[in-house]
Structure 1
Amino acid sequence: MTNNIAGKVVIITGASSGIGEATAKLLASKGAKVVLGARRIDRLDAMVDEITKAGGEAACQVMDVTKTADNEAIVMLAKEKFGKVDAIFLNAGLMPASPVSALKTDEWDEMVDVNIKGVLNGVAAVMPSFTEQKSGHVIATSSVAGLKAYPGNGVYCGTKWFVRSFMEVLRMESATEGTNIRTATIYPAAINTELLDTISDEATAEAYHGLYKTYGISPDRIASIVEFALSLPEDTTVNEFTIGPANQPW
């Protein structure tokens, strides 16, 4: 397949570790200009330095996806630094799993804010540019929990089902409106990232750590899917990717 990635300007949220970090480094190695957003500026600065030393191009800024202004600011950074935005990878997410009966309502709110509002804020920030240029690619990380229900993950599942539905509507509306905005929703299973670190319910955390220790695979596997999606010709969309360990019966 032709390398359609070289020269593309790609914004990545949740970029400081895991899937976001792996994707940033892979895309930069393929010639993309990556614009990285996350809460940990030290990690972002280190990544930009590493990418630049390897001959790539990157920029970064501190970002809280729940804040509208931060989403707008990273789009402005991309334009000021590289002149345009071709794609955004909405990857920031939280999974503080627990039974509904545990009533960890603060964690419910956090998941809604990051997993749902974070996606909405990112799309809202980039949509005017994509609409004006009549092109753009929105890629979002959902989860296999966005495809089926898992006990202990009621609220998380709900947020990831939202991403699934919203992204499909965005794809259909863009096709109808003639804006040529493509979408790709990714549904990872057990991928070894920092996602489990947010689980405060002890029994749930123990179960998930055991699951991921048994099955978990590298976030590089997801990065390769983002690379594939961005490599497709402009007239082609693959709108959904479900990916996980070959030996995990998710």
Structure 2
Amino acid sequence: MPAERLAGRHVLITGASSGIGESLARLADRHGAAVTVAARRADRLEALVAEINRAGGKAFAVSMDVSDEASVVAGFAAAQAALGPIHTVYANAGVGLPGLAKEAPIADFDAMFSVNVRGAYLTAREGARAMAASGVAAATQGRIVMIASIGAMTQLPGLVGYCASKAAVVSMAKSLAREWAREGINVNAVCPGYLETEMNSGWFSSAGGQKQIGGFPRRRLMPSDALDATLMLLGSDESAAITGGVFTVDDGQSL
């Protein structure tokens, strides 16, 4: 992978207090970006920012609830005031609340759509507005990457609402890519398979989780760096001709 693919860019990442978002923040820093990390757990963000800044990087934290419009608008404004125009947005915040359809509370369904769909929409919208206002879009440097899931295209047991919400994210990414195609903003979706995160480690260490892993073609979770190359490509200038794409990175898990 070429070094410093994001040099000179200001990257904003939602859901950055753990899992893919936290790893992505460190990766973006290593590739030369100034990084704004956004999430509800501000204490964890501050620790991440301190780590990046101590090592010579440039990072800033904003407390953001992606399901709340005012919070998203304020977060983007604070990020730009701190680190300048935003070039790349990773709409990564998401929740998965498992449960069989006849038994799961409707509140869980609503929560997943509130964060996974409404939150992704607000994040992409505010990113596009910021890019248009700053001139980043006019310079054809705008990049928005929406993190979906293999659940967008395959049915994961006990995750009806989650799969439906991620299918909506994929459709949204395509629609926004078309809407903004002539504005210098590229929008793409990435559909990761399972890798071990704080959110799922308990499940995958259980007997049921081990059985699920045994059913994957390669009988493993994805390596921790499996998404790195795709995420860096789509967030960089190298993806100038890539918009409206849906990229499945799952180690063959959905086969």
* Same fold, TM-score > 0.5, yes or no: yes
Cα offset for 1:22?
0.7
Q: Which has the higher contact order (CA 8 A, sep 6+)?
A: 1
Alignment of 1:193-204 (within 5 A): 193-196=197-200
Structure 2 contact 42–62 (Cα < 8 Å) conserved: yes
Distance 2:3 2:184 in 1: 20
Q: Which residue of the partner structure matches residue 195 of structure 2?
A: 191
Contact 1:10 1:88 in 2 (8 A): yes
- One-letter amino acid of the structure 1 residue matched with residue 221 of structure 2: G
Q: How far is the alpha carbon of 1:72 from its aligned partner?
A: 1.0
Per the alignment, residue 104 of structure 1 pairs with 105
Aligned residues: 242
2:242 to 233, 237, 249: 237
The partner residue of 1:170 within 169, 176, 180 is 176
Question: Are 2:151 and 1:145 aligned?
Answer: yes
Aligned-pair CA distance for 1:198: 10
Distance of aligned partners of 1:105 and 1:206 in 2 relative to their CA distance in 1, 3 Å threshold? farther
Contact kept in structure 2, 1:27 and 1:34, CA below 8 Å? yes
- In structure 2, the CA distance between the partners of 1:56 and 1:210, relative to structure 1 (3 Å rule), is farther
Amino acid at match of 1:122: T
Could you tell me the TM-score, scaled by structure 2's length? 0.86
TM-score, length of structure 1 as denominator length: 0.88
Q: 2:94 aligned with 1:93, yes or no?
A: yes
- SS for the counterpart of 1:102 is coil
Moved more, 213-222 or 12-21: 213-222
Asked if structure 2 preserves the Cα contact closer than 8 Å seen for 1:164 and 1:185, the reply is: yes
1:75 and 1:170, CA in 2 relative to 1: closer, same or farther beyond 3 A? same
Query: Structure 2 vs 1, CA of residues 131 and 208 (structure 1 numbering), >3 Å: closer, same or farther?
Result: farther
Contact 1:66 1:114 in 2 (8 A): yes
CA RMSD, Structure 1 to Structure 2 (Å): 2.3
In the other structure, the counterpart of 1:202 is: none
Q: Percent identity?
A: 28
Unaligned runs of 5+ in 2: none
Q: Show structure 1 runs of 5+ residues with no match.
A: 200-204
Q: Which residue of 1 aligns with 2:185?
A: 181
> What residue identity is the alignment partner of 1:156?
Y
